[in-house]
Amino acid sequence: MSSVNAGAGLGISGLDRHVRLALTALTALTSIALAGTLSGCTYLGNGKDGQKEPEKLEFDLSSLGIKKGSTGPLETPPPGLEKKATAWSEIGSKYEKLGMFDYAEKCYLKCTELSPSDKFYWHSLANARKNQNKFEGSRQAFIKSLDYDVNDIYTMAAIAFADAQLVKDVEARYYLLTALSVRPDFQEAWRGLYALAHRIAEDKYMPQLGRLRNSPGEGFNRCFAQSMIAAYLNDHRPEDEFYWGYQVSSGYFLMNDRKYAEAESTLKKVIAAKPGSWEALRAKVGLTTLYTRIGRDDEALSLIAELEKESPKQPFIWFNKALVTRRQGDLNTAIEYLGKATSLAPDHGSWGKLFGEWMEEERKAAKS
C-alpha cells in the first residue's frame, strides 16, 4: 500500500489528530526529563498507596557540560558590620569551603571595595574566579595585588598560569622572568618557562630550561634568565608594553651580580622614563634594597620614607628599614619593622626565621 493510500485509510483529519497527540506526549516527556536533568535529579514515578516513593537519582551535571550555580540570597554580615572587609571575607571563606565560588567571588569583590590596598583580598578574589575558570578576571585581580607587593613571586606565577590558559605567551614569559629576577632559583618559574617553550616549539631554550626546571639552583640560572631578558630588549623598542618592566628586572639581576653602579643607573633610568608607573615603583623598591646592601643607609632611609607615603604596604621597604635600623643599633625598633614586613609577606620564610633570631637576641639582652 502506498503512503497516500495509508493516509486515505485513516483520513486526513485522523492523521493530523494522531500526529498532534504524539507530539504533545513527546513534548511533555521531554519537558519532564529536561526539568529533572537541569535540577540534577529525577524521579522514577509515584509510589502506590502504602508504598515508599522511589528515591531520587542524582546525576553529575558536569558530564553534561552544565555547572551548578548558587541559588538563594547572598549572606551578608550582621548589622553594623556591613562596612567591615573582614566580615565579608569570613562569609566568602564559608562559600569557598562549600564550593560556591560565584558567591565567594561576590564577597571578596566587596572586600576589595572596602579595603582596596590589602593584597590578600585581591588574592582571594582571584582564586575564586580561577575556580570558576574565569581566567581573565583572575589574572586582573592578581595583577592588581602586585600594586601592593611588587616583588611577590607567587602572584607572578599565578598570573603566568592564567596567561597560559588564555594562550598569552608573551605575558606569561614576562611575569615568569620577573619572578626570577627576585629569586633566580624559583622552580615554578623555570617549570613555567619550560612548558611555554615546549608549547611554542622554541627549541633554542629547551636544553637549558630542561635542566633548570628540575634543578633551579644551577649556577647558570641568573646568567640564563638575563640572556632571555637581553634578547627581548634587543628586539623591542621602549614603546613596547613590557620594555621598561624588563629593564627593571635587568636592574635586579645586575644588583644580584653585585654590579651595583650599573644596577643603580638602570633602575634610575626607569624611574625617570616612567614616573608614577608600576615599573617605576618596583625600581624604587629595588633601589632601597641596593642602598641597604651596600651600606648607603641615609639614601635607603630617604627613599623608604618616600615610599611609605607612596605605597606603604610594600613588604620590602619595611624589611630594608629593619636591616638599616638594626645596623644602627636599635634592635627593638628593628624588630617592630621586621614584624611589619613579615605580616605583609608571610611567605618569606627567611624573614620569619630572622625575626625569631632577633627576638631571642632581645630576650637575652634583657636578662643580662
pLDDT of residue 49: 45
Q: Which of 148, 175, 196 is the last residue of a domain?
A: 148
pLDDT in tens, 17-46: 444 434 444 444 344 343 333 333 333 334
Q: What is the 3-state secondary structure (H, E, C) of 291-355?
A: HHHCCCHHHHHHHHHHHHHHCCCCHHHHHHHHHHHHHCCCHHHHHHHHHHHHHHCCCCHHHHHHH
Q: Of residues 301 and 72, which shows the higher confidence score? A: 301
Domain membership of residue 329 as a residue range: 314-368
Q: Average pLDDT, stretch 82-88?
A: 97
Angle between helices 278-293 and 315-327 in degrees, nearest 10: 20
- Number of compact structural domains in the chain: 2
Residue type (1 letter), 151? N
pLDDT of residue 45: 38
**How far is Cα 332 from Cα 335, in angstroms, rounded to an integer?**
5
> 302-320: buried (b, 16+ CB within 10 Å) or exposed (e) per residue?
ebbeebeeebebbbbbbbb
| 114 lies in some domain | yes
pLDDT band for position 368 (50/70/90)? confident
pLDDT of residue 69: 61
pLDDT band for position 188 (50/70/90)? very high
- Pull the grid cell for residue 201: 616549539
What percent of the chain shows pLDDT beyond 70? Answer: 81
| 274 lies in some domain | no
Q: Of residues 55 and 285, which shows the higher confidence score? A: 285
pLDDT of residue 24: 43
Q: Average pLDDT, stretch 86-111?
A: 97
- Pull the grid cell for residue 326: 638594626
- What is the rounded average pLDDT for all residues in the chain? 86
Q: Of residues 7 and 346, which shows the higher confidence score? A: 346
**How far is Cα 332 from Cα 304, in angstroms, rounded to an integer?**
19
Q: Average pLDDT, stretch 80-96?
A: 97
pLDDT in tens, 216-256: 999 999 999 999 999 999 999 999 999 999 999 999 999 99
pLDDT of residue 33: 40
pLDDT band for position 65 (50/70/90)? very low
Give the CATH number for residue 368: 1.25.40
Count how many residues are written for the chain. 368
pLDDT band for position 72 (50/70/90)? confident
Q: Which of 99, 124, 148 is the last residue of a domain?
A: 148
| 64 lies in some domain | no
Whether the predicted pLDDT of 349 surpasses 60: yes
What percent of the chain shows pLDDT beyond 90? Answer: 79
Whether the predicted pLDDT of 16 surpasses 80: no
Give the CATH number for residue 123: 1.25.40.10
| 346 lies in some domain | yes
Q: Rounded to a whole number, what is the largest CA-CA distance in the chain? A: 116
| 241 lies in some domain | no
pLDDT of residue 71: 72
| 124 lies in some domain | yes
Torsions phi, psi of 100, nearest 5? Answer: -95, 70
Residue showing cell 630542561:
210
Helix, strand, coil percentages in the chain from 3-state DSSP, rounded to 5: 70, 0, 25
| 245 lies in some domain | no
pLDDT of residue 106: 97
pLDDT in tens, 308-335: 999 999 999 999 999 999 999 999 999 9
Whether the predicted pLDDT of 169 surpasses 80: yes
Q: Which of 148, 175, 194 is the last residue of a domain?
A: 148
| 87 lies in some domain | yes
Whether the predicted pLDDT of 10 surpasses 70: no
pLDDT in tens, 111-161: 999 999 999 999 999 999 999 999 999 999 999 999 999 999 999 999 999
Supply the pTM of this predicted model.
0.80
